[in-house]
Amino acid sequence: MDFDLSREQMDIKKAAREFAEKEFPKIARECEEKEEVPRDLLKKGAELGFVGVFIPEAYGGAGLGFLEHALILEEFWRMDPGLGQQFCSLTFGSEELILFGTEEQKEKYLPRLTSGDALMGFAITEPDAGSDAASASTRAELIGESWVLNGNKVMIGNGSLADFILIFCLTDPDNPAKSHRHSVILVETNTPGYEADKILGKMGIRAADTANIFLSDVKVPKENLIGERGKGFYQLMAFFDRSRAYVSAHGVGLAQGALDLAIKHVKSRVQFGQKLAAFQVTQFKIAEMATKVELARTLTYRVCSMLDRGQVDSKLVAMAKWNAGRTAVEVVDEALQLHGGYGYMNDHDIERFYRAAKVLEIYEGTKEVEKIVIARRILGRF
């Protein structure tokens, strides 16, 4: 069993780190405070190839895998979770196009993402359909040659910035099987009837755009259906099997970044006549945090690498996502604790990391949902 990254993977990780280390600190706090998305930085990152590396070369990507995508996101989240989130969101949902899209759809939409000229999003969540995505009631009716969409989506990444958004919607409400009622439809956001309301006041990752979406008689061509009609739920599960794998890298990166900040602090702060690092209790904390980060990283890399080798294991992916989210929350909590009162003030970065962590146990499947997936694969249905 080989646990080593290839030279190319190490070089990509280093390149991502160097870019994030030089570019992110200049603007991270300001973007968080002003809840602003730095479009210039996104464009610069895209030009360097850091956006959507898993997209095939034929469609403007690097033709690499989810592992490389995860390595980049880990380094970005390590420097700043908000900017890391915004970078990840740029291609969020493109897996649907890669896996299920037609040649025309791929050619039309994917290259604009990797060049940094377009942003996308994937709208699943609704006021009455969160963890229970199959209850989504946003309706799409086929009228003549067009789909007509009506409904509300909430908490959608890039809702107010995206050029196009994938909508998880109800196309076949009368199908007796709940899992055969939905489809995925692409909506260009300049279509009349599309409205987005940017959410202000998120607890963390405020440099990333999140919005509520209102669709009223949004009319798009019939060809905007992605994949098969009525198979939306299965396509969504296939998406989660991939996105959860690299979202695990968000947790690894955030936890590593928090650990880095904690190490720096305990090696400089003196109390009772010695550095905090000299107390054995501090040493134990650092040892525990570092071990947790390494464990989360190992499982994250494993599931990403498996996906890149064509192995899809929903259970293992859910384990990686749950564990990485938990690791981030636990490690950042201890890291802030080691900062004492200074960590509670927003002129210390750890405060921003702390606020960011919690979302990792909520989006892309709450930690409870991940455990449902894991247990169902182990115990079966009864």
Ligand X SMILES: Cc1cc2nc3c(=O)[nH]c(=O)nc-3n(C[C@H](O)[C@H](O)[C@H](O)COP(=O)(O)OP(=O)(O)OC[C@H]3O[C@@H](n4cnc5c(N)ncnc54)[C@H](O)[C@@H]3O)c2cc1C
Residues engaged in binding ligand X (CB under 6 A): 121-125, 130-131, 155-157, 202, 210, 359, 362-363, 366, 368-369
The site string for another protein over 50-69 (x = CB under 8 A, - otherwise) reads x--x--------x-x---x-
Instruction: Say which residue the tokens 């740029």 belong to.
Output: 90
Q: Which of 23, 32, 74, 364 is catalytic?
A: 364
- Cβ 286 to ligand X shortest distance, Å: 29
Q: Which does 111 bind (CB under 5 to 8 A by kind): ligand X, another protein, none?
A: none
Comparing CA positions, the residue from 133, 135, 132, 126 lying closest to residue 154 is 126
Given a contact cutoff of 8 angstroms between Cβ atoms, the answer to whether 344 and 336 are in contact is yes
- Cβ 377 to ligand X shortest distance, Å: 16
Beta partners for 194? Answer: 215
Classify the C-alpha dihedral 90-100-177-181 as positive or negative: positive
The smaller minimum CB distance to ligand X, of residues 42 and 156, is found at: 156
The contacts of residue 194 (CB under 8 Å, 6+ apart) are 187, 213, 214, 215, 218
Given a contact cutoff of 8 angstroms between Cβ atoms, the answer to whether 200 and 162 are in contact is no
Q: Using the rule CB under 8 A, is 12 a contact of another protein?
A: yes
By CB under 8 A, the count of residues binding another protein is 19
The smaller minimum CB distance to ligand X, of residues 207 and 306, is found at: 207
- Cβ 244 to another protein shortest distance, Å: 23
- The b/e string for 129-156 (b: 16+ C-beta within 10 A; e otherwise) is bbeebbebbbebeeeeebbbbbbbbbbb
Q: Which does 157 bind (CB under 5 to 8 A by kind): ligand X, another protein, none?
A: ligand X
* Binding positions for another protein, 137-196, rule CB under 8 A: none
Comparing CA positions, the residue from 11, 15, 97, 5 lying closest to residue 58 is 97
* Binding positions for another protein, 67-106, rule CB under 8 A: 68
Is residue 364 part of the annotated active site? The answer reads yes
199: DSSP letter: P
171: DSSP letter: S
Q: Which does 267 bind (CB under 5 to 8 A by kind): another protein, ligand X, none?
A: another protein
Indicate which single residue of 30, 48, 58, 102 sits in contact with another protein (rule: CB under 8 A).
48
Task: Please name the amino acid found at residue 354.
Answer: Y
Q: Which does 121 bind (CB under 5 to 8 A by kind): ligand X, another protein, none?
A: ligand X
Q: Using the rule CB under 8 A, is 354 a contact of another protein?
A: no
The contacts of residue 208 (CB under 8 Å, 6+ apart) are 37, 82, 83, 85, 86, 89, 157
Query: Which range touches another protein (CB under 8 A), out of 16-24, 105-113, 283-291, 357-365?
Result: 16-24
Distances (CA, A) of 106 to 102, 130, 224: 6, 28, 11
Burial of 278 (0-12, 13-18, 19+ CB in 10 A): middle
Query: Which range touches another protein (CB under 8 A), out of 10-18, 234-242, 306-314, 344-352?
Result: 10-18
Indicate which single residue of 26, 178, 198, 264 sits in contact with another protein (rule: CB under 8 A).
264
Q: Using the rule CB under 8 A, is 270 a contact of another protein?
A: no
- Cβ 350 to another protein shortest distance, Å: 17
Q: Using the rule CB under 8 A, is 130 a contact of another protein?
A: no
- Cβ 305 to another protein shortest distance, Å: 18
Q: How far apart are CA 262 and CA 293, in angstroms?
A: 13
- Cβ 351 to ligand X shortest distance, Å: 18
Provide the annotated active-site residues.
364
